[in-house]
Structure 1
Amino acid sequence: MVTASIQLSPREQQLRRLLLDVAKSIDKAGHAPEPIVLRWAGGWVRDKLLNVESHDIDVAINAMTGVPFAEHMCDYCEEPEAVAKHSIGPDDIGSLHNVARNPDKSKHLETAMVKIFGLDLDFVNLRKETYTEDSRNPQMEFGTAQEDALRRDATVNALFYNLHTDQVEDLTGGLQDMAAKIMRTPLEPFQTFMDDPLRVLRLVRFASRLQFTIDPVTRQFMADPRVLEALRVKISRERVGTELEKMLKGAHPRESLQLIDELGLYYAVFSDPIREATVFPDISKWRVAYMCLDTLIQETTPGSIGHLLIHKDDGSYYSWNLAAVSPWMIVDDPPNPKRKANAPPPVAVAAREGFRAPNKLTDIITASYRNRSEILSLKKSVCSREAFINERDRFGMAIRRWDAQVGSWRLQVLNAMLVEATDVLQQWSLEDVKEQEEFLAGWKAFLNHLAELDVLEAPSLKRLLDGRKLAKELGIKPGIWTGKALEICVAWQLRHPEAKDPAGAIDEVRQRREELGIPLH
């Protein structure tokens, strides 16, 4: 075993002293079959060695499960002597929460959670795992520190900090791999991934997050067809979605998608594992989409494409999801007269069933699919200077339609751009800067034209009159005609942006009365 020193913060030292006294108290009471040894495990140790602050600590216990240890700890912290010795304030110890075992959510043991001195602690016993061939849910039993380390997904996540010796314990070569910035599995990689194929995605996430490379042998087995099939059929799609969300909300989403691409994981993540698809998308140029998006996000100056299209805190997350599913955007369902008009397109099914995309994301993806052709057509019209491109109502009403369902017209334009990039560009690299700049210039011209027409905020245009007022002016009751008539009024407003009186809009509705099916009385 290799060891190393670590520097604790004052509150981490305070927590260490408290936990050691809790362990002594348990030993003294004879509540455990052997002396308690406490270790902080996994991610906190890794981040501490990387000088990354972490508030989440997993506490691994050698001879007791997490819940009784945490219960004893909470009792101990109420004793007056303990309160005085460890300077425990009234808000320093949070409520104890027990998280029940739930294998489908990767909770294989009951876990005790409590917040102490501002740090979030999870208490669980050291364990070893035994897997059956058809399940990623292991049989669990008490294990040694070595067995607990070996069951983990990567050596850099298998380090322990021993509270009693004040040393980092390395039982799998994690310190050496940390120094070399390499991700590898503690055990033989094929068996590691077949036991739990989700580890493939976890390694992708950590490699991109930490900016580490993946060991070549480990990488080879991550792309093994048997592992990919196991990832596709053995892992709950909620867990796949959780890993993907962490990747795309992290600091390096492009690297995550690039690893998925290079390792050949695409169909194992972005497809419905239950139903056999009759068609799959071509992903040979998927790289162009995510590299293009990365370029747009890096350019944040006011007026840039990324600045205009990627808004709000979650805009980046939705953008990366659109880049992820962009190969599916040109896949259509085979003709089927029995298919309902509002049935989700293949891209939405791939997102919903492949990684359990939440409803809003699925709606954005669906709208992006359905409006892509119109967006692309209008963009090409602007670039070719068609005669109608100064018709403000044509563009404003189109934007309002795109935005109507989920308020995401800018993301839909971004999607159309990413999909077109994969169609017209062979690659996205430093060698093709001129071609890429010409491509982006076309979309920038389109957005500039929308800005010149002053329709970027068309969805928030306030109507000069509502359905009730319009019906009153026409001298009839509102009816099924009202919605279409109001759209005519909004289009009139877009053509007359300075107007404050809706009389002209009402006159146009009157003139189109027969077309709208408005009754005379």
Structure 2
Amino acid sequence: MSEASAPHAADRRELTAAQRNAVAELLRVSPVADELGRRFVRAGHELHLVGGSVRDALLGRLGDDLDFCTDAHPDETLRIIKGWAESIWETGREFGTIGAQRDGLRLEITTFRAESYDQVTRNPVVVYGTSLDEDLKRRDFTINAMAVSLPEHRFTDPHGGLADLSAKVIRTPSTPGESFGDDPLRMLRAARFAAQLRFAVHPDVHVAMTEMAADLDRITAERIRDEFTKLLCGADPITGLRLLVDTGLAERFLPELTGLKLEIDEHAQHKDVYEHTLTVVENAVSYEEEGCDFILRMAALLHDVGKPATKAVGSDGRVSFHHHEVVGARLTKARMKAMRYPKEVTAKVTALVALHLRFYGYGRGEWTDSAVRRYVADAGDLLPRLHKLTRSDCTTRNRRKAAQLAADYDALEDRIARIAAEEDLARVRPDLDGNAIMELLGVPPGPVVGRAWKHLKEQRLEHGPLDRDAAEAELLRWARAEGLIS
């Protein structure tokens, strides 16, 4: 060993010892794990804290969910924890997992696995293993293939996960090709961990992700959706998104994102719409007040997906994307439906995409109070998110222009607040309800009431609140014009 490399090696040994001590200390102050370990040992079985729990303990962020593995089969695990656990659930029993709760901690105890895959649907075929080493070898990444045996706190790291954790590298225990061949979803998980932990994937992993991207087609939309959601909600979603595009994985389930690389921005301020979009996502994250707002992040990611289909070049050479928000909303709805997102989530993201351009033009002084009311009414409970999305969409490098856009939006928010103080903008309703409409017109429930209600709402948006007499007069005027009364 050279003199130059010796200090580095010493530092690595010190770091390893410090991190091992951190695991022991975290377990010491969490006696539930040791209690559980002693119960398994008394029953003649092993118990090990594994996977993300060990990784997070080493990172100093161990939470309330603990993962364990054991040589005990589910029936034996149930016998060991019965009378000790405060509650028990068996929803994961077919995969060898028994869940339990104790002292506010959620515990999942899984029998050693040596699972194989059917190589068609890539669904796991659970086969119980016989050793900890066998179990760790089948895990997705080395940083998730470490264990702490209980109750003695013996640390096991057969694949160099601790070194990879220190180096912030995502690597597989076996070759990447073997690991991804077992379960192609692991390619998406690699991008997800890159986003969550701010880690880089090992070059060999990157190559395998690129070469095997098409294998992701065998994975169900629901599993892809869940991993992608976690990626987008990561601490650094941009790193994960770039990895999806660069390896070709995005093309398999979110081709609209890759398609943005082909289009230049109409203001020619960015390399392409793809780079602009990543900046908007980054900006949106900075506006979050607490935790991940998936709806805001997804709207930021998809807000310009309609541009490729609406690109036009004028006679003066300028590029435009007229009505791309309308096309984008349609594409967003279709893509999120294909990814099996819930209807209510899809509806909110789609609405934000459709509304994201509405603000532009406000600075020209053309908006009346009526236009402001419609802006608020159309956004509904999405208004706070629409504020954030619109501000995030300002990515111009022109400082004067950026300052003007910010000032314009400040003015709009102030104007909304002023009008809201005078009117109930949060609940824009007609000044007469359905019962009043039926009583005044002498009609039963039906389409006429709906039409009248819609007309009065339009009047409310256009002119603001009407008193009772004015509202009734307007309703009667409308009914005469419609031939409903004489």
- Same-fold status (TM-score > 0.5): yes
Do residues 112 (structure 1) and 119 (structure 2) align? no
Number of residue pairs matched? 437
Q: Which residue of 2 aligns with 1:30?
A: none
Do residues 519 (structure 1) and 484 (structure 2) align? yes
Q: Hey, which of these two has a bigger chunk of helix by percent? A: 2
Q: Which residue of 1 aligns with 2:473?
A: 507
1:18 Cα shift? Answer: 4.3
Q: Could you give the per-residue CA deviations for residues 405-461 of structure 1, whole angstroms, max 9, x where no partner exists?
A: xx435545766777x76xxx6xx7xx6666655555555554444445449963413
1:490 Cα shift? Answer: 3.5
Q: Which residue of 1 aligns with 2:427?
A: 460
Question: Which of 10, 17, 37 is residue 19 of structure 1 equivalent to?
Answer: 37
Q: Could you give the per-residue CA deviations for residues 281-337 of structure 1, whole angstroms, max 9, x where no partner exists?
A: 43452332242243244257xxxxxx8xxxxx788221112123334345779xxxx
Q: Which residue of 2 aligns with 1:321?
A: 298
Q: Which residue of 2 aligns with 1:198?
A: 185
Question: Which of 47, 50, 66 is residue 59 of structure 2 equivalent to?
Answer: 50
Letter in 2 for 1:156: I
Q: Which residue of 1 aligns with 2:338?
A: 353
What TM-score, normalized by structure 1, do the two folds share? 0.73
1:199 Cα shift? Answer: 0.9
CA distance in 2, matches of 1:434, 1:159: 53
Q: Which residue of 2 aligns with 1:127?
A: 113
Letter in 2 for 1:382: Y
Letter in 2 for 1:298: S
1:504 Cα shift? Answer: 1.7
Structure 2 contact 33–151 (Cα < 8 Å) conserved: no
CA distance in 2, matches of 1:9, 1:127: 24
Q: Cα 1:289–1:502, aligned 2, differ >3 Å: closer, same or farther?
A: farther
Map 1:340-419 → 2, pairs under 5 A: 345-354=330-339, 356-368=340-352, 371-372=354-355, 376=357, 378-386=358-366, 389-390=367-368, 392-403=369-380, 407-411=381-385
Map 1:199-214 → 2, pairs under 5 A: 199-214=186-201
CA distance in 2, matches of 1:434, 1:218: 44
Structure 1, gaps ≥5 residues long: 28-35, 79-91, 103-108, 272-276, 301-306, 308-312, 334-343
Q: Which residue of 2 aligns with 1:105?
A: none
1:71 Cα shift? Answer: 2.0
Structure 2 contact 284–296 (Cα < 8 Å) conserved: no
Q: C-alpha root-mean-square deviation of aligned residues, in Å?
A: 3.5
1:477 Cα shift? Answer: 5.0
Do residues 72 (structure 1) and 82 (structure 2) align? no
Letter in 2 for 1:520: I
SS of residue matched to 2:62: coil
Between 157-166 and 344-353, the greater mean CA deviation after superposition: 344-353
What TM-score, normalized by structure 2, do the two folds share? 0.77
Q: Which residue of 2 aligns with 1:238?
A: 222
Q: Cα 1:101–1:223, aligned 2, differ >3 Å: closer, same or farther?
A: farther
1:46 Cα shift? Answer: 0.9
1:176 Cα shift? Answer: 0.6
Q: Cα 1:125–1:53, aligned 2, differ >3 Å: closer, same or farther?
A: same
Q: Cα 1:141–1:494, aligned 2, differ >3 Å: closer, same or farther?
A: closer
SS of residue matched to 2:87: coil
CA distance in 2, matches of 1:144, 1:441: 64
Between 441-450 and 239-248, the greater mean CA deviation after superposition: 441-450
SS of residue matched to 1:114: strand
Letter in 1 for 2:338: E
Q: Percent identity?
A: 22
Q: Which residue of 2 aligns with 1:286?
A: 274
Between 138-147 and 183-192, the greater mean CA deviation after superposition: 138-147
Structure 2, gaps ≥5 residues long: 1-15, 263-272, 311-328
CA distance in 2, matches of 1:9, 1:157: 18
CA distance in 2, matches of 1:410, 1:478: 35
CA distance in 1, matches of 2:414, 2:241: 30
Letter in 1 for 2:302: V
Map 1:326-345 → 2, pairs under 5 A: 326-330=303-307, 345=330
1:402 Cα shift? Answer: 4.8
Q: Cα 1:207–1:448, aligned 2, differ >3 Å: closer, same or farther?
A: same
1:207 Cα shift? Answer: 2.0
CA distance in 2, matches of 1:143, 1:325: 47
Do residues 220 (structure 1) and 207 (structure 2) align? yes
Structure 2 contact 254–335 (Cα < 8 Å) conserved: yes
